Amino acid sequence: MFGFIILFNFKYDIYILIKKSNFFLFSLVILFSACSTDLAVIGNYKETMVVYGLLDQSQLKQYIKINKAFLGEGNAFEYAQIKDSSQFVNSLSVVLKRIKNGVEIDSYNFSPDNTIEKNPGIFYAPEQSNAIYSFQTPAGTLNVDSDYKLIVKNNQSGKEISAQTALVNDFGNLSSPNPNSPFFNCILANNNNYKYQVAWQTGKNAKIYQLVIRLNYYDSTETGNIQQKLDWIFPEQKTQGLGGGESMKNEFVGQIYMQFVGNQLNDYPGLLARIPGQLDQNKKNLMADIIVIAGGDDLNTFIEVNKPSTSIIQEKPEFTNITNGLGLLSSRYTRSAFSKPLSATTWDSLSCGQYTKGLKFKNHLGVICQ
């Protein structure tokens, strides 16, 4: 499953956007490094911006990643280590314009954001950054009654790209059968076939949805406590249209969830115990979060185009909705629906159950099952 859910979480957003743009640049490196020296592949320089971003009004900060494609004579792997090869250095203006009924009514400026470190690899050098731009969006900054147009201009060369997207609307009637009961009451040794259901109505401009069940816990180690989370990611669901109001749901049984936890976690040296919940005393009992993420139509197309090919034809079209450049601008909406405590029986199942017994979870009495 290629990464819609990887695009829901900011940390993973940046990881995927970096991988995608770096993949495009790396493809050029491999292609032209492997070409015969008898073939002239180096023409006149053409500046190409590679832009990726998802607007999400549920978040307090918006991010755009901007790189440039490159090619030159000699060893392309060496070019990849040079910041100026794949990044614009202090030359870009990045503006997001709010447009309602064809009229511009507001604009926002992105600034370079170096708070996220660049991962080591082909495109890594000590002076390089992740080429990320951001701006703060307190609640109400972005409005679903408007479209948003991104304009990026290289003030040195005059090169300009643009892209436009609508926002994904919030969605309604998000519910579970027993909203006031402890979460995962269904995970009982004698009730493995009980189906826990999460249902909702789709919102306008959304094409793709995905449910996430997040287990909050912390590891007690020899050096201190470490807050952790484990996300159970459900398959994508797609709407019939973009008008909203369609019914969607996901169901699961407790036994399958316990198998998932058992397969994902391991004991490790220095781990003393695992405790469901959060270190924050105000959230200590909120052990399970239900999160639903909706993505726009262009995001869905981007994911479909980049899924692994199942046919003998491996070559794929390059999807872009960036005018005068390459990449993707789309939208999503992230909704954390409920946070639930675990029932005592579920807590005990994590500690003593057949799939998770060796993971050092404490039971509801604070004891590790032996």
Domain range annotation of the chain: 5-167, 172-293+335-359
Q: Buried b / exposed e across 241-279, counting CB within 10 Å, b at 16+?
A: ebebebebebebebbebbebbbeebeeeeebebbbbbbe
The reported pTM is: 0.81
Distances (CA, A) of 168 to 72, 165, 321: 41, 9, 17
SS3 6: helix
Q: Give CA 177 to chain center in angstroms.
A: 28
State the Cα–Cα distance between residues 359 and 271, nearest whole angstrom.
9
Tokens, residue 121: 């690899």
Q: At what angle do helices 344-352 and 254-264 cross, to 10 degrees?
A: 40
Q: What are the backbone dihedrals phi and psi of residue 338, each rounded to the nearest 5 degrees, phi first?
A: -140, 155
Q: What is the pLDDT of residue 79?
A: 58
Among candidate residues 261, 240, 265, the one with its CA nearest the CA of residue 252: 261
Whether 272 and 221 have beta carbons less than 8 Å apart is answered as yes
Whether 153 and 311 have beta carbons less than 8 Å apart is answered as no
Q: Which fold has domain 5-167?
A: Immunoglobulin-like (2.60.40)
What sign results for the dihedral spanned by CA atoms 338, 340, 234, 328?
A: positive
pLDDT truncated to tens, each residue of the chain (370 aa)?
A: 334 433 434 333 433 444 444 444 434 343 334 444 444 445 566 788 899 999 999 999 999 999 887 665 665 566 566 665 667 777 899 999 999 999 999 999 999 988 876 666 655 555 666 788 999 998 889 999 999 999 999 999 999 999 999 999 998 777 765 544 445 554 444 455 667 788 899 999 999 999 998 999 999 999 999 999 999 999 999 999 999 999 999 988 778 888 899 999 999 999 999 998 888 777 776 678 888 999 999 999 998 888 776 665 556 667 899 999 999 999 999 988 667 777 787 788 889 888 899 999 998 889 998 7
Strand spans (E) along 44-102: 49-55, 61-68, 92-100
Instruction: Name beta bridge partners: 53.
Output: 64, 329
Instruction: Name beta bridge partners: 166.
Output: 147
